[in-house]
Structure 1
Amino acid sequence: MTLEPEELGHSKADLAETIKKLRKRAGRTQTWLALRCNMSQTKVSNIEGAKLTPSLVDVELIMRALDAPTDVVAQVVALARRANTEWQDIWSQRRTGLEKKQNELAGFEKSSTEFRYFLLSMVTGLLATHEYVRASLAGIPGDQSKAIAKKLERQAVLYDTAKRFTFILTEQAVRWPYTADPAMAMQIDRLISISRLPNVRIGVIPLDGYMPCAPLNTFTVYDNRIATVETSTGAMVFRDYRDVSAYLAEFATYEGYSLFGDEAREKMTEWATRFRT
């Protein structure tokens, strides 16, 4: 199924209305449907009221319970797929202000306890120095001081020991010369320092190792609920468990080829020394 960007994230109400109509057409109550699908009546009510976006599994259970025709099932599953996927283009983010995006990320961080970051080409804001953050936004027109401040403010979440973080960075992400050499050395020093926090693991994938698969995108997984995937023109937000599970599996593969702990710190110290000399 092709997902058109303008349709993504805008099918929640249509999905809710379609499910409600199908249930009523079948002559069933919310209570009956909830029992057949092993859900609470409140959950069914929230789905039909567009307060809760059902997963594809939820939708398949509902369609089976209502004995919906095959063609109708395909249409409803397509709606569910679009409702669980959101496209955020960079031009809309810039129009509304980049600090709004930072507030959204802060919301993800507040509601999640386990974080997995795969960083393909650059350091993420949570790990970045002030100089690196400023350099990463330098090419965007306008005053970015609020976005910079919000990015740096979000870093406090790393010190919440109730949360667990795993960052995997390629050698390219660590060493890409986003700033002048002295500032890059300081950025790598920060990675080494943060890697010593008890709830933070920082892994690196050196280019001189064996890597039988090729990553295509930077991505983040929040718990097992949400995966965000970055592209050069925006970000995709996936909430369906199949998409999230796929990124969890991809992350686990890269984790197996990463250096952690003292091995990672030794490698990063070597890279920082190159910038200093």
Structure 2
Amino acid sequence: MTFDPESLGRTRSDLAAALRDERRRAGLTQTTLARRCNMSQTKISNIESGKIAPTIVDVELILETLGAQGSVATDILALARSAHTEWQDGWASQRRGLDKKQNELARLEAVTTEFRFFLPTMITGLLATPDYVRASLSRSSGDIAKVIAKKIERQRVLMDSSKSFTFLLTEQAVRWPLVPPLAMALQLDRLASLSRIPHLRLGVIPLGLPGPVDETPLSVFTVYDRRLVQVETHTGALILRDHKDVAAYREDFERYEAHAVWGDDCRELLGEWAGRFTRQRQ
């Protein structure tokens, strides 16, 4: 589901029309514009017909070539960003069936080779035990058993050695007691075990260590290669495809990554916390 045009900009077709109109105002043919931009005429045609969404760099180059300035250039660049942004409504996903969302994620995971997960609030389904997955869906409707099964099935992607995974969690996310103490201990043991997979890195940002001082981690986000970023909110997910947005989130990830503990140090922390949960049950 794309953003409402009234609130967050117009669609790809509006961007196509705006670029087409600006080219005509400049008195250039598609062939001439393509040559001056070092693009193919086919690409310019596909952009102006809305078949493809140009990158921000493409749009900047086209606008510079056309001599567009001021509010016209600003408005068209805003359209370009909107064309690369999508809102996935959580309530709409509930109505369609959360199992369909799992299918979409599985398809995305199949074509991705490098994953970065920033998890400040809770443990993601790819790392979760069945008990944890079930608890995370306690407020969801529909066929929850089917959704749980699909979430567990998606975990097989972690065994694909052609892919690389980096999971970065805060201490709060790891220790949030979503399930009873013994189940939490088992969940933390699973994290420690998964961290030993050669192509999977798992780090934790402890509360006792200083973190980045320039901003606070607020949102869960996942970076898929350099293709897109999914930013999760309480009511849905924001999908960003523009390369500048993707690069910005990759930079954020690297900044937080530097404040995490990894490897044996991470597993030692997880073991300590798992032991505390075990003792709570006694």
TM-score over 0.5 for the pair: yes
CA distance in 1, matches of 2:24, 2:10: 23
Aligned to 2:229: 227
Unaligned runs of 5+ in 2: none
Cα offset, 1:106, TM superposition: 1.7
Distance verdict in 2 for CA 1:134–1:9, change over 3 Å: farther
Cα offset, 1:22, TM superposition: 2.5
Cα offset, 1:65, TM superposition: 1.2
1:16-31 residue pairs with structure 2 within 5 A?
Answer: 16-31=16-31
Aligned to 1:269: 271
After superposition, what is the alpha-carbon deviation per residue over 1:89-140, rounded to whole angstroms, capped at 9, x for unaligned?
Answer: 2111111111222122222212221110000010111111111111111111
CA distance in 2, matches of 1:152, 1:196: 19
Residue type matched to 1:6 in 2? D
Q: Secondary structure at the match of 1:51?
A: coil
Cα offset, 1:19, TM superposition: 1.7
Q: Which moved more, 1:198-207 or 1:24-33?
A: 24-33
Aligned to 1:105: 105
Unaligned runs of 5+ in 1: none
CA distance in 1, matches of 2:108, 2:27: 39
CA distance in 1, matches of 2:13, 2:57: 18
Cα offset, 1:185, TM superposition: 1.1
Q: Which moved more, 1:46-55 or 1:148-157?
A: 46-55
Q: Is the 8 A contact 1:113 1:164 kept in 2?
A: yes
Q: CA RMSD in A?
A: 1.8
CA distance in 2, matches of 1:209, 1:106: 35
Residue type matched to 1:263 in 2? D
Using the size of structure 2 for normalisation, the TM-score is 0.91
1:90-239 residue pairs with structure 2 within 5 A?
Answer: 90-213=90-213, 214-239=216-241
Q: Secondary structure at the match of 1:68?
A: coil
1:55-70 residue pairs with structure 2 within 5 A?
Answer: 55-70=55-70
Q: Percent identity?
A: 56
Cα offset, 1:42, TM superposition: 3.2
Distance verdict in 2 for CA 1:32–1:107, change over 3 Å: farther
Aligned to 1:6: 4
Q: Is the 8 A contact 1:9 1:84 kept in 2?
A: no
Q: Secondary structure at the match of 2:152?
A: helix
